[in-house]
Structure 1
Amino acid sequence: MNILFRVDSSFAIGTGHVMRCLILARMLKEAGCTVYFAMRVGPGDLCDEVEHEGFPVFRLAYDGPVIQEVDAQWTMDVIRRLLQPIDWCIVDHYELDRRWEENVKAYVGRVMVIDDLANRPHQCDILLDQNYYQQAQQRYHGLVPSGCRLFLGPQYMLLRPEFDEARRYAPIRNGQVRRLLLFFGGSDPTNETEKALHALKELDFRHLDVDVVVGKANLNRVHIESRCREMGFHYYCQIDYLAELMAKADFSIGAGGAAMWERCFLGLPSAVTVVAENQRQSTEDAAAYGAVWNVGWHADVKSDDYADIVYRAMTSSEQLKRMSRKAFELAGSMREYTVHPIVEALLEG
């Protein structure tokens, strides 16, 4: 089976789309599929990283905003160049919708969409939205064809194998905060990391063991590394053992999105800053469930707010224990299978 992913990353949109597609691509490769990627070239792209993972990348070298008809034409050109049938095209892109999918569908067997906005119509056979929403089943009503198979909720979360291993020894937290983890995503375009570091410096939390994680797409990573060195914190860039740090941490401050569900999967109590519009509803719903604290929209969050969050965590032992239990509970059904249901569905055709 031949599969083509259409996905992008950049300093502006971050790395999350590509990272979750890579997880699915690895699963499909292990199942015997041949996997390709089509990605735009630009500042913050992960084309080299995807190729390093062993997947051929077709670079779409055009500038400016995404124009659906142009993007579809470029993608169809890639398909023609492959000189072999593409069984599935998997698209993970907020700027593409039914118009793009209808064009590409004429050149491939089937189309799968990864989405979490539920704000535009799709022409697809499978749709995955791995976030938790209180009204999940109603979100895509009228936006997908009647025969589309919907996979909705964190039980379908695309997680790297390291998280399965880490969950085996990740404890329900005891409410004491001795080790803190800061991670605001691969690019952190709003520079929440430095806000949080400033708060920790002002409060002088020398007794805390602090891990600070950034991605290669973080434009402030050099300065952050210098700040961490000055403050005696542990600095990590583009690591593949984030699950290990999450399992060791007592509390975390980070962004919404995939990393929020990874923390929940490991029962790590966390405060979540909403750094993109697509994170807002899922963060609010996870907070209503009791699995996280919602810090709010990034533009409204100051360093003092992060200082207050750390102080609150250190003085709220019972709340942290409840949050850890609720996070485990919310993510508890994430791995009740040996083969991911999405992989099964794709292989079934």
Structure 2
Amino acid sequence: MRSKLYIRTDGSSSIGLGHLVRCIALARMLSNDFEIFFACKQIPDSIAGEIETDGYHLIRLKNDDDLTSILSPTDLVVIDSYELESDYQKSIKLIGCGLICIDDLHEKTTYADLILNHTPGVSPSEYSAQSYTQYALGPKYALIRPAFLNLAKKGRAHIKNESVLICFGGSDSRNLTKLALEVVLGTKRFKKIFVVTGAAYAHHDSVNKIPGAEQHVFHYRNISAEDMAQCMSEVDLCIVPSSGILTEALTSGAKIISGMYVENQRFVFENYKKSNAFISAEDFTRENLTDAVENYFSQEPGTNQQLIDGFSGNRIQNLFQQLLYEKDFALRDLAIGDAELTYKWAVDENVRKYSLSKGKIEFEEHISWLKRKLHDPQCRFYIASFSGESIGTIRFDIADQEAVISYLLDPAYHGKGLGATLLKRGILSFSNAPYFVNRISGIVMRENISSCKTFERFGFAKQSDGENYKYTMYIDDENRKI
């Protein structure tokens, strides 16, 4: 039986549909692994119909507590909302659920096990999070629908500067669609103009009444992701806001003009702008939009840089699977009776390859070393099990208020994301032990790419340490809530 995944989000003409759209994209990435429930207080009927047609369940909430009342510790919960406070996250964690937050504002303390934010340039240090929080940050974790993932994989051959797509999302309460169309028509340089409006757009007549619009403007309403991806693949320029639709447009290879018109788009706008992902129209005034279009025509024709590779779904699937694995994961104190098993792991060539100590290990030597560690009051040593099978160890050696981590995983369990689970559970267990430290660190060989990525996903800061990297988490940092 598939595990249950609850997605708590909302959308409407007033708050926009971006949260719902990216959550539907997430659901489609995970639909083979989970039974998916959308839990919404606000949702347009058209989007509700799409969710149910896709085979997902829809729970219409009257109160936020309606969701927490039905959760169980085996469930995973995704929150994508600017309105829900930190205490709501905490209430979900207290039930025992795995918690994932889609958070591109990083304004509130989070209790999430995993934070998703596909904006470029964002850093774990910008979040007030927990010691156990992992980060999936940047465009390689783009939450976009399968049609756009496939578009990113195809690549783009050429640009002619003859066609443009205008789309301001599902609602466009300010009717920037009309303004952009007027500016584009005024150039008299595009042979084809595609205008796409969404389910909650209320200004259709205003677009159709613009002088000249009937000549070479194609107006599509509430089209499918597949049709939108096809449009983007055919045009040379996309004019879109710095919201979820910008991420989708980036898969096309087309040139992009983008800007921001509400405050919650600022971070996305500024970070993509720093990455030179688009030509800036700033706040979408007529003057700024006109300047951006002129800037576009002043450039040499060519494809846009590809920030999204189309494989974010695979990466996100692996991270969610890892959260499921945690339900069958346990730690206990290591004992001398574990000597034979830990010796077997320590001398395995796949483990030795990334060990900082390269000398040959004899069993008697291993026994003596293990006894010293078990009797050392400045050492905390755990053995991990998964589904009842012992799979690895993690150790904390303490000196000068620093705990240095050493961990290894049975090679038979490599490639499943269990190294991250081992690190997470080790840090949680150690944080409950009676030691006073202000930082946790690990020394990793530069060639050990997997361990480097694991430390980085937990927000450890990286610095060179001779031929190796040293990763450090300052646990007295106000952003870390150990």
Q: TM-score range by the shorter chain?
A: 0.7 to 0.9
The 8 Å contact of residues 212 and 236 in structure 1, kept in 2 or not, is answered as yes
* Secondary structure, counterpart of 1:312 in structure 2: helix
Of 94, 112, 115, the residue aligned with 2:100 is 112
Of 55, 60, 68, the residue aligned with 1:76 is 68
Write out aligned runs for 1:201-280 (5 A).
201-205=185-189, 207-225=190-208, 227=210, 230-240=214-224, 241-280=227-266
The 8 Å contact of residues 97 and 120 in structure 1, kept in 2 or not, is answered as yes
State whether structure 2 residue 145 is matched by structure 1 residue 160: yes
Write out aligned runs for 1:108-187 (5 A).
108-133=96-121, 135-140=122-127, 143-171=128-156, 173-174=158-159, 176-187=160-171
Which one scores higher on RCO, CA 8 angstroms, separation ≥ 6?
1
The 8 Å contact of residues 129 and 151 in structure 1, kept in 2 or not, is answered as yes
TM-score, length-normalised on structure 2?
A: 0.61
Shift of 1:269: 1.2
Of 8, 15, 28, the residue aligned with 1:13 is 15
Whole-Å Cα distance in 2 between the matches of residues 331 and 54 of structure 1? 28
The CA deviation string for residues 114-171 of structure 1, in whole angstroms up to 9 with x for no partner, is: 11001111111111111112x523211xx11110111111100122221233234442
From the superposition, tell whether residues 177 and 11 of structure 1 become closer, same or farther in structure 2 (CA, over 3 Å).
same
Shift of 1:108: 4.8
State whether structure 2 residue 311 is matched by structure 1 residue 335: yes
Structure 1: stretches of 5+ with no match in the other structure: 62-69
Which residue identity is paired with 1:269? Answer: K
Count of residues paired in the alignment: 320
Which residue identity is paired with 1:92? Answer: D
Write out aligned runs for 1:262-341 (5 A).
262-298=248-284, 301-302=285-286, 304-317=287-300, 321=302, 324-325=303-304, 327-328=305-306, 330-332=307-309, 335=311, 338=314, 340=316, 341=318
The CA deviation string for residues 256-290 of structure 1, in whole angstroms up to 9 with x for no partner, is: 12222222232221110213323212322222222
Which residue identity is paired with 1:4? Answer: Y
Which residue identity is paired with 2:97? Answer: G
The 8 Å contact of residues 112 and 124 in structure 1, kept in 2 or not, is answered as yes
Shift of 1:255: 0.5
Structure 2: stretches of 5+ with no match in the other structure: 327-482
From the superposition, tell whether residues 226 and 54 of structure 1 become closer, same or farther in structure 2 (CA, over 3 Å).
farther
From the superposition, tell whether residues 337 and 202 of structure 1 become closer, same or farther in structure 2 (CA, over 3 Å).
closer
The CA deviation string for residues 143-202 of structure 1, in whole angstroms up to 9 with x for no partner, is: 11110111111100122221233234442544x311111111121222110001122333
State whether structure 2 residue 26 is matched by structure 1 residue 40: no
Report the counterpart of residue 96 of structure 1 in structure 2: 84
Whole-Å Cα distance in 1 between the matches of residues 117 and 178 of structure 2? 31
Shift of 1:44: 7.6
Higher strand share: 2
Which one has a bigger Cα radius of gyration? Answer: 2
| Structure 1 outlier segments of 4+, above 6 Å | 42-45
Report the counterpart of residue 67 of structure 1 in structure 2: none
Shift of 1:103: 1.8
Report the counterpart of residue 344 of structure 1 in structure 2: 321
Report the counterpart of residue 27 of structure 2 in structure 1: 25
The CA deviation string for residues 286-327 of structure 1, in whole angstroms up to 9 with x for no partner, is: 2222221121124xx12x43333323322321xx53xx35x2
Whole-Å Cα distance in 1 between the matches of residues 146 and 308 of structure 2? 15
From the superposition, tell whether residues 242 and 138 of structure 1 become closer, same or farther in structure 2 (CA, over 3 Å).
same
TM-score, length-normalised on structure 1?
A: 0.83
Aligned-residue Cα RMSD (Å) equals 2.5
Shift of 1:3: 1.1
The 8 Å contact of residues 78 and 100 in structure 2, kept in 1 or not, is answered as yes
Whole-Å Cα distance in 2 between the matches of residues 168 and 20 of structure 1? 19
Whole-Å Cα distance in 2 between the matches of residues 285 and 109 of structure 1? 32
Whole-Å Cα distance in 1 between the matches of residues 35 and 313 of structure 2? 23
From the superposition, tell whether residues 169 and 179 of structure 1 become closer, same or farther in structure 2 (CA, over 3 Å).
farther
Which residue identity is paired with 2:172? Answer: D
